[in-house]
A and B are shown apart, each in its own frame.
Chain A
């Protein structure tokens, strides 16, 4: 039976196994919405802003490993989606975004709601397509899913002019099982010679470090990583994006690294003699000052993307390949080797570790944000899916929640997009209706996609929103305190809404916590409401800072420390 372009598009999604389509209708996609109406295989989730559609699809993808799928209209629908597309691009998240376009005959005429979606999204997609023939829809969709999900994953935009989905034009439909693309052949296995070289180097190490990143989560290589680390008994640190791939509470794990990483991991990075980077891309928030990055180390780098290798830091042993495959090979080779004795190195590391670099004032009469996160961990037994927005709360969540499993920590690391947390949590909750999903946010960030509380009611998503309300764009305030002599330019959040009433007006439950003594009991009460969305507005210490901190462009051993820890005091006055 012949089908229209709109029907074909939806059939493609069904045949691709898509459960949810996050979207928002408009003129250019009305034929597609009509096709959606006629079926119930693919469930459409109506968001309240296209940015949220992309973040929700992204959250779904990060939690499940399956591609997130989005449908938006032309013009403003497409431009609203751009932030979410860029977010997914920076963090290599598989996503297929279908944008409506004006009819083929109108393209280029500045038609109503026309934007060059392919042009606008080109720098922030893995690839994009403009479909100009109804007979090409199925093949293009197959290519889009293939490109989005293989190699280094990423978002793919498919721009479809309205006439291509015209219900009056019907053609035969068959979803291809495979598509040939001569120009796209992502690497899988690593070079065996380089793998051997890497093993040899690792076995000579006296002060080794394992630096693991988001690629391990994306590449579903957490098991392989655990075997690898335990065989060697080497210290392991993780990037913000990699948290959970290795359990935080294992003795070999020495904390996150980078700008707000632990003292011990940053010091160990600085002093190591062999570094193995696994699915990590030497981001500037991780490396600090390039010239002083791991100054004495030979570096091994495993990455699926050749362009990540020696981009900013020149490496000695580059291994291009799928992280899981490469680690499996390494694990096999390592099994028969005797491992180096690094007791002296562990002694040094344990010395650094003996000082609690994350210490904070536990006797304050104000609620400390760190404590709130610790309690959330306790209540959820460390087993929740935690999304976050961007700011201090994000760093505290990363430092204090403690992730034991991959795919549980979901945040916008690369782009740092405020507004990500709540819609991402929606995607996660839809994927896992019975799991606890927590959105850790700030009073600034939550207002960037607050309208999604309405979507949450419509689809019955019992997310727990933990808002660390410091009445400041806290991370901005922290930088202004440190580097701008406390000139708090536009970082105070005035005229905040009453979040409890606001949440109630959206049909959910709101709780406000103001006193440290109420923190635990009120959080427990909130999390006990299993089938309700609860917005927990926690009034926290306004002036709390995130420590340790390496100022942008400084070296790993140049950390600022909290006045509440035993480490050398915060040298901020020298910097100011």
Chain B
């Protein structure tokens, strides 16, 4: 009696566990695939933003939204441009209407009329996922739906994300959001579908001013990797220890 009871229990457990597993959980990799997945990649993608070249036209934001199917009119975006206006008395006014998608045509900043005479400095800062070396988002994902590729890009598995939002909270840069259609976490992927085919990201291709550049940090002959190696560059919020891989020229203390 007790044996058959245990048997039954076992069968029920196995059965219900199997029923709960979607079929694609059982994808086996071929040995080559497994090897490729574990091998060190010859690339490490990085990014260089030269804020001194950015004019705030917002073409990058437009291009990104279209390229990556991010609903165009919704107030979420994989990349955005911030405008900074620092007044003579040190006040920082910042804005990014529609993520800067339509450029900055409004003179008012944060509903402030700013007297041009009172402006000490003003500039634009494009933002995107930093594809961190120690990504906080990957660390906190409870199901491993957010992961880092061997070439350094952090991606999200849309079929596995449970939508808990822990990664959204954990990213110090606020680059993550929920995709309104797929209902899973979403963020910049450095256009992984493009760069893995040898193309540039949509935003890089659409920046007429060369403010955004993709680079391969493992390739020391890459012209932009050279810039990062030889010039003084900074990263955003390095105090969080995430080791961001988007490098900036011309940052300011007000930029966070």
Q: Do A and B originate from a single complex?
A: no
